[in-house]
Structure 1
Amino acid sequence: MAFEIFEQQFGDLKELVVQDSATKNRFVVIPELGGIVRQLSLLKDETLFSVLKTPATPHLLTEDSRSASELLFPFASRIPDGKYRFLGKDYELDKNEDGNLNAIHGLVRKKPFEIEEQIIEDQYALIRLSFHLKELKGYPFELQFSVTYKLDAAGTFTLKYEAENKGTSPAPVMFGWHPYFLLGNESADAWKINIPSDEIVAFDYNSIPTGKEPFTVDMPTLLYKKAFDNCFVIRSQNDSAVTQLISENQDVTLNVRQGIGADKFNFLVVYTPPARDCVAIEPLTANVNAFNSGEGLNIVAPGNQVEGTIQVFLT
């Protein structure tokens, strides 16, 4: 059987490795640190690309404030002053962003996840992790949040999230994934990006939405001398849309496919860090500050659940 799952140490952290021994495709997950994917390696022709940029040491990873590869739940991005109003009640979250202005990126970052399932089959292997949210400060709702990571024989990595309302009242829910992608040792200035959108979110000084504007950049566009730190409304004629990061020099394209439609990933953040060594491509189920605007926000009734899927593959 080509697939295997095994444990290894990363400093004081314990990792799970899912690997296809035939291709060396693999991903590495740290359940105790927010269930993050620390490494993802995918084969294109004869080259194995390590496509995720994460901090290089256990200490740097534990202290990371850039949220590299983190799972963002039950909200993603910023909530100004940590305050929101839901079904006629006011709530206040801790202001945990640098600068102490906003609540940012949810409540499960760096929290220990439970390992629920490990499956190895001929054509794929997967692991499923979970975290139970209950009566957290500023979020007095009860949800079972789980994420399934899967690698198949074709070299497709799949992230599927699920959130079930275990409480007695409706709960506001938003999910995002925060990976930084790279392609070999090239600078981002050598890559092109293809963003499936014709509408961009306008931000104020605090990166809070003020409206939307047409996005008219011809795609794909060369990233040379371009800086993105934007949220986009995703458009597609199908039930999914693909953002592409393209290296013509290496003849490889990284594809990030997000399911779209009702309750799915209808927004996307793209960010080019100042170091120009990677690009963040972050599918979101709702707009920034959706806990206040309601735009894209999932309201999950007791006993109900929402789910969505993101896939990463090379062509």
Structure 2
Amino acid sequence: MVIILDAHGYRIELQPQSGATVLSATWTKPGGQVIALLERLDTPDAGLQSGCFVMVPFVNRIADGRFTFEGRDYSMPVNRPEPAVAIHGFSRDRPWQVMSASPDHAILQDTVSSGEHPWRYTVTMHVSIRQKGVRIALTLQNDGTEPLPFGMGLHPFIPYGPDTTITFAANGSFPSDHRGLPIAPLARPDGLACGETVPVQAWRGTDRCYLGWFTQAAMIHWPDRESAMVLSADGVFKHVHLFAPKDRNVFCVEPVSHFPDAINRPFLGCDAAMAVLAPGESMSGSMELAAEGL
């Protein structure tokens, strides 16, 4: 089953049974040219390497699939064995329930309770098309009986060409070890995060989280397609993770609520930490994609 939203020049395809993943997002220019805002995902069963997927109840990596909170030890499955980490949460691999759908919006939900990990939660995703762009909003609620650390994020894959550029600004980032886990000390903004316009091609191989995403927005220019896109975020998405694999012409601008393995690394500081939600408490954030011609 694929849900199709089509309004105001934008077209979105969602697959509820594969983690409510956004399979594709396009924008049709006034002249009729179709611009891919996300790299299309044709085979979600083979792995979520394109489109856009949800990360809950944590983002990125947790070392060894273990953490300690308020004196109690917790564990979860290690779903990336080689670096020995749990990664990107659980809901991206689960079928979601469709709560409602129309030509310009869809609401999907996943309720999780498992003996394999400590979290009990409900995550709701509201995808809507408005005249100014596509909005993906998440709300994550603690359904458990005890407070626990929670986090969430979105993982969009964006295509790029030889002249594609990105502009955004952040406070800085922490260097990472060989497992992709942050280590001290905090580094000042590099050439990618200082507010200057830089070519995406030059940052191939980047896999880094940036602290304090100032405007919660990034501007992407595709000169070869005479188009641009503003990717913006709000709510708990106060950090941004940049990932550009070496072997593909895609990059990811991931709005996230916390740093990789923040639950095990208090030296990252409270701004980088997961949010502790009491039973029944929730957190919310959204990402918007707004395209324009050049």
Both proteins in one fold, TM over 0.5? yes
164 and 29 in structure 1: CA distance in 2 versus 1, 3 angstrom threshold = same
Match of 1:10 in 2: none
1:67-78 alignment, distance < 5 Å: 68-78=51-61
Residue identity in the other structure for 1:150: S
1:251 deviates by: 2.7
> 1:5-37: per-residue Cα shift (whole Å, max 9, x none)?
xxxxxxxxx1000112xx542101000110000
Q: Which has the larger share of helix? A: 2
Instruction: Please say if residues 269 and 280 of structure 1, whose CA atoms lie closer than 8 Å, have aligned partners that are also in contact.
Output: yes
Identity of aligned residues (%): 17
* CA–CA distance in structure 2, aligned partners of residues 80 and 25 of structure 1: 39
Residue identity in the other structure for 2:22: V
TM-score, normalised with respect to structure 1: 0.83
1:135 deviates by: 3.2
Residue identity in the other structure for 1:18: L
DSSP 3-state at the match of 2:45: helix
Instruction: Please say if residues 156 and 253 of structure 2, whose CA atoms lie closer than 8 Å, have aligned partners that are also in contact.
Output: yes
1:67 deviates by: 6.9
1:43-82 alignment, distance < 5 Å: 43-46=28-31, 47-56=33-42, 58=43, 61-64=44-47, 66=49, 68-82=51-65
Choose from 2, 10, 14 the match for 1:29. 14
1:225 deviates by: 3.3
Match of 1:242 in 2: 217
Match of 1:162 in 2: 139
1:210-221 alignment, distance < 5 Å: 210-211=183-184, 212-217=186-191, 219-221=196-198
Match of 2:259 in 1: 287
Instruction: Please say if residues 114 and 130 of structure 1, whose CA atoms lie closer than 8 Å, have aligned partners that are also in contact.
Output: yes
* CA–CA distance in structure 2, aligned partners of residues 267 and 40 of structure 1: 23
DSSP 3-state at the match of 1:198: strand
266 and 24 in structure 1: CA distance in 2 versus 1, 3 angstrom threshold = closer
Match of 2:240 in 1: 268
DSSP 3-state at the match of 1:62: helix
1:45 deviates by: 3.8
Match of 1:296 in 2: 273
* Aligned: 1:253 with 2:236: no
Match of 1:223 in 2: 200
DSSP 3-state at the match of 1:32: helix
267 and 136 in structure 1: CA distance in 2 versus 1, 3 angstrom threshold = farther
Choose from 98, 102, 113 the match for 1:134. 113
* CA–CA distance in structure 2, aligned partners of residues 214 and 162 of structure 1: 32
Residue identity in the other structure for 1:254: M
* CA–CA distance in structure 2, aligned partners of residues 102 and 55 of structure 1: 25
* CA–CA distance in structure 1, aligned partners of residues 170 and 79 of structure 2: 30
234 and 45 in structure 1: CA distance in 2 versus 1, 3 angstrom threshold = farther
Match of 1:93 in 2: 76
* Aligned: 1:144 with 2:122: yes
DSSP 3-state at the match of 1:203: coil
1:179-218 alignment, distance < 5 Å: 179-182=156-159, 187=161, 189-211=162-184, 212-217=186-191
1:43 deviates by: 2.8
Residue identity in the other structure for 1:52: L
Instruction: Please say if residues 40 and 50 of structure 2, whose CA atoms lie closer than 8 Å, have aligned partners that are also in contact.
Output: no
* CA–CA distance in structure 2, aligned partners of residues 224 and 130 of structure 1: 36
Instruction: Please say if residues 9 and 29 of structure 2, whose CA atoms lie closer than 8 Å, have aligned partners that are also in contact.
Output: no
Instruction: Please say if residues 39 and 51 of structure 2, whose CA atoms lie closer than 8 Å, have aligned partners that are also in contact.
Output: yes
Residue identity in the other structure for 2:254: E
Choose from 94, 112, 131 the match for 1:153. 131
* CA–CA distance in structure 1, aligned partners of residues 177 and 58 of structure 2: 19
* CA–CA distance in structure 1, aligned partners of residues 11 and 289 of structure 2: 12
Residue identity in the other structure for 1:42: W
* CA–CA distance in structure 2, aligned partners of residues 119 and 65 of structure 1: 25
Residue identity in the other structure for 1:229: D
* CA–CA distance in structure 2, aligned partners of residues 220 and 72 of structure 1: 28
* CA–CA distance in structure 1, aligned partners of residues 219 and 289 of structure 2: 10
TM-score, normalised with respect to structure 2: 0.89
1:241 deviates by: 1.7
Task: Provide structure 2 residue ranges, at least 5 long, that are not aligned to the other structure.
Answer: 267-271
Match of 2:154 in 1: 177
DSSP 3-state at the match of 1:167: coil
136 and 49 in structure 1: CA distance in 2 versus 1, 3 angstrom threshold = farther
Task: Provide structure 1 residue ranges, at least 5 long, that are not aligned to the other structure.
Answer: 1-13
Instruction: Please say if residues 220 and 228 of structure 2, whose CA atoms lie closer than 8 Å, have aligned partners that are also in contact.
Output: yes
* CA–CA distance in structure 2, aligned partners of residues 68 and 55 of structure 1: 5
Cα RMSD, aligned residues only: 1.9
DSSP 3-state at the match of 2:187: strand
Residue identity in the other structure for 1:69: C
